[in-house]
């Protein structure tokens, strides 16, 4: 008997909200024995793409059941940094949140969802489609690369650092100042406009209510003026912070019992013996938590590595003192970008090779194989990871390196 085709249609907030959340849960509670991060979208399944200039969510329906979902957004970014403007820009469609109900997999539903989303990208004049996944997510890699012809073009690192009770030391030789949104926009356009995937609506990102601000660090006592026609110090660094916890919360699921016991007993010890709070420890990931995402990292000058580190410590202290539920600070940088050596992170919580794949959508770009330009870019080049597209918390096996049984045996409070 032939299999009935699923109907693919646009997401309808009123009718589909509960059913999409239910599908997400079913995808998590599947047969996998792996640890995963459960995302609570707090009643708004479309929250991850809502801040993007153009966005779309599609659902697949079969036998009156919602069996699949996909999300996409479109924006203009810098791609060909070696070409003069406006030829350095392209309209790109980003694919995320593809899920098919476990009982309905391998029936072409995931492929149908991708095809329909690509059609929406093409109808809206997008030049390229791209997506991010874990390199060992075989189903996803085969679907996009083998079936749809996406090619691997970047492998950024997702660096994760837990927020601890104890404030981090910020060097007294470093001065940190918050910029106004207009100053931040000016500096980003001046210094990062050529960076790959720099979003051309940067002012919207910086002005979004989730963006907590942009900070610069420079050696104390140096003359500085970060405004238009201002004087930049010889060494300086900047970054912006996005409060993802306002959008969705995460929670660790499917973790081994030993891991749960470890986190709970550590929390209990810290309550009974306050000195425990001073030791580096594993945050309790079993209750819903949020995170800060640091984006737009830029640094110049011989002392800039130290300044990046000072900014990261500053953001940590801000999270520790002002946020109730921020348990980790996350950032995503180009895989070989040397700046990653200055960003404090726990190896155990981080993912060093997220896989970004891209495909040309326009026939002339396909003919000239324009995507291969991406693969020729030097791997140490920096990459602008838009906070609206942060990959952390994607339901994924990337948590495989988080608290696997073997590692837990070695894992102690000083594993940072
Ligand atoms: C990835 C996912 C969406 C695929 O959905 P699906 O409806 O099963 O996909 P399709 O039936 O259209 O499969 C298309 C192709 O993908 C590949 N593929 C899909 N599942 C696969 C698997 N388990 N193992 C190997 N290849 C697989 C195959 O090449 C398949 O073509 P084929 O069936 O002709 O061999 C689904 O497995 C899923 O929801 N996984 C969990 C969430 C996830 O990882 N999402 C991707 C995030 S980017």
Identify the CATH number of the domain in which residue 367 sits: 3.40.630.30
Q: 413 is written with which tokens?
A: 């409070």
Given this model, what pLDDT does residue 130 score? 96
In a domain, 389, yes or no: no
**Ligand 1 binding pocket includes 103 (Cβ within 6 Å):** no
The residues, any chain, with a CB within 8 Å of residue 327's CB and separated by 6 or more, are 162, 163, 283, 284, 285, 289, 290, 291
Residues 371 and 272 in one domain: no
Tell me if 391 sits within 8 A of 132, measured CB to CB.
yes
Tell me if 201 sits within 8 A of 53, measured CB to CB.
yes
Domain housing 168 = 160-350+401-410
List the CATH number of the domain containing 280: 3.40.630
The residues, any chain, with a CB within 8 Å of residue 268's CB and separated by 6 or more, are none
Residues 219 and 139 in one domain: no
Residues 312 and 209 in one domain: yes
Q: What is the pTM of this model?
A: 0.88
In a domain, 386, yes or no: no
Residues 270 and 150 in one domain: no
Q: Report how many domains make up the chain.
A: 2
d(CA 138, ligand 1 centre) in Å: 8
**Ligand 1 binding pocket includes 109 (Cβ within 6 Å):** yes
d(CA 42, ligand 1 centre) in Å: 27
Residues 258 and 406 in one domain: yes
d(CA 283, ligand 1 centre) in Å: 33
Residues 323 and 370 in one domain: no
In a domain, 91, yes or no: yes
Atom 47 (ligand 1): residue with closest C-alpha?
98
Tell me if 91 sits within 8 A of 76, measured CB to CB.
yes
The greatest distance separating any two alpha carbons of the chain, rounded to the nearest whole angstrom, comes to 78
Given this model, what pLDDT does residue 118 score? 98
In a domain, 345, yes or no: yes
Given this model, what pLDDT does residue 319 score? 95
Atom 40 (ligand 1): residue with closest C-alpha?
99
CA distance 18 to 289: 21
Residues 32 and 128 in one domain: yes
Residues 40 and 59 in one domain: yes
Residues 265 and 373 in one domain: no
**Ligand 1 binding pocket includes 245 (Cβ within 6 Å):** no
How many beta carbons lie within 10 A of that of residue 316, not counting itself?
24
In a domain, 227, yes or no: yes
- For ligand 1, what atom is nearest to the CA of residue 106? 11
Helix (H, G, I), strand (E, B) or coil at 176: strand
Given this model, what pLDDT does residue 1 score? 45
**Candidate from 58, 101, 109, 139 with most ligand 1 atoms within 8 A of CB, to mutate:** 139
**Ligand 1 binding pocket includes 111 (Cβ within 6 Å):** yes
In a domain, 115, yes or no: yes
Helix (H, G, I), strand (E, B) or coil at 85: coil
Length of the chain: 416
**Candidate from 105, 133, 141 with most ligand 1 atoms within 8 A of CB, to mutate:** 105
CA distance 210 to 14: 25
Closest by CA position to 345, among listed 308, 397, 382: 308
CA distance 338 to 19: 44
Residues 113 and 215 in one domain: no
Residues 197 and 342 in one domain: yes
Atom 32 (ligand 1): residue with closest C-alpha?
106
Residues 237 and 196 in one domain: yes
**Candidate from 143, 146, 389, 395 with most ligand 1 atoms within 8 A of CB, to mutate:** 143
In a domain, 225, yes or no: yes
**Ligand 1 binding pocket includes 106 (Cβ within 6 Å):** yes
In a domain, 391, yes or no: no
pLDDT in tens, the chain (416 residues): 456 789 999 999 999 999 999 998 888 654 455 566 778 888 889 998 998 989 999 999 998 899 999 999 999 999 876 677 777 899 999 999 999 999 999 999 999 999 999 999 999 999 999 999 988 899 999 999 999 999 998 999 999 999 987 788 888 899 999 999 999 999 999 999 989 999 999 999 999 999 999 999 999 988 778 877 778 899 999 999 999 988 888 887 666 666 666 666 766 766 776 666 656 566 777 788 999 999 999 999 999 999 999 999 999 999 999 888 899 999 999 888 889 999 999 887 888 888 999 999 988 777 777 777 777 666 557 889 999 988 777 644 344 445 444 444 334 333 32
**Ligand 1 binding pocket includes 105 (Cβ within 6 Å):** yes
Atom 4 (ligand 1): residue with closest C-alpha?
110
CA distance 91 to 76: 4
Given this model, what pLDDT does residue 343 score? 96
Given this model, what pLDDT does residue 318 score? 95
**Candidate from 106, 118, 356 with most ligand 1 atoms within 8 A of CB, to mutate:** 106
Atom 35 (ligand 1): residue with closest C-alpha?
106
């Amino acid at each position: 008997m032939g299999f009935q085709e699923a109907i693919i249609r646009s997401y309808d907030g009123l009718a589909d909200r509960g059913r999409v959340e239910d599908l997400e849960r079913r995808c998590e509670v599947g047969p996998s024995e792996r640890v995963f991060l459960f995302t609570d979208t707090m009643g708004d399944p479309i929250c991850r793409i809502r801040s993007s200039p153009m966005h779309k969510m599609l659902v697949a329906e079969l036998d009156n059941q919602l069996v699949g979902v996909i999300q996409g957004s479109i924006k203009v970014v810098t791609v060909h940094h070696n070409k003069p403007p406006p030829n350095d820009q392209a309209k790109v469609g980003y694919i995320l949140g593809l899920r098919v109900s476990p009982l309905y997999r391998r029936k072409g539903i995931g492929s149908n969802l991708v095809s329909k989303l690509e059609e929406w990208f093409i109808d809206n004049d997008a030049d390229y489609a791209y997506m991010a996944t874990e390199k060992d997510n075989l189903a996803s890699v085969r679907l996009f690369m083998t079936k749809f012809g996406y090619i691997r073009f970047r492998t950024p690192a997702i660096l994760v650092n837990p927020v601890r009770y104890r404030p981090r030391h910020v060097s007294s030789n470093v001065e940190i100042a918050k910029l106004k949104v207009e100053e931040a926009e000016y500096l980003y356009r001046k210094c990062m406009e050529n960076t790959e995937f720099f979003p051309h609506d940067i002012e919207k990102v910086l002005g979004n209510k989730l963006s907590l601000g942009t900070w610069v660090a420079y050696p104390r006592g140096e003359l500085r003026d970060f405004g238009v026609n201002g004087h930049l110090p010889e060494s300086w660094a900047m970054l912006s912070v996005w409060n993802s916890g306002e959008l969705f919360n995460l929670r660790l699921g499917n973790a081994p019992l030993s891991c749960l016991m470890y986190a709970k007993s550590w929390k209990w010890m810290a309550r009974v013996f306050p000195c425990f709070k001073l030791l580096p420890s594993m945050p309790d990931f079993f209750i819903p938590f949020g995170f800060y995402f640091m984006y737009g990292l830029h640094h110049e000058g011989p002392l800039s590595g130290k300044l990046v580190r000072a900014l990261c410590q500053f953001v940590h202290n801000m999270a520790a003192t002002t946020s109730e539920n921020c348990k980790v600070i996350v950032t995503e940088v180009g895989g070989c970008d040397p700046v990653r050596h200055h960003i404090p992170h726990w190896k155990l919580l981080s993912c060093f090779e997220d896989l970004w794949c891209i495909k040309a959508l326009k026939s002339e770009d396909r003919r000239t194989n324009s995507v291969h330009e991406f693969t020729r870019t030097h791997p140490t080049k920096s990459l602008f990871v838009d906070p609206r597209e942060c990959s952390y918390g994607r339901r994924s096996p990337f948590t495989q390196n988080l608290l696997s049984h073997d590692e837990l045996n070695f894992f102690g409070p000083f594993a940072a």
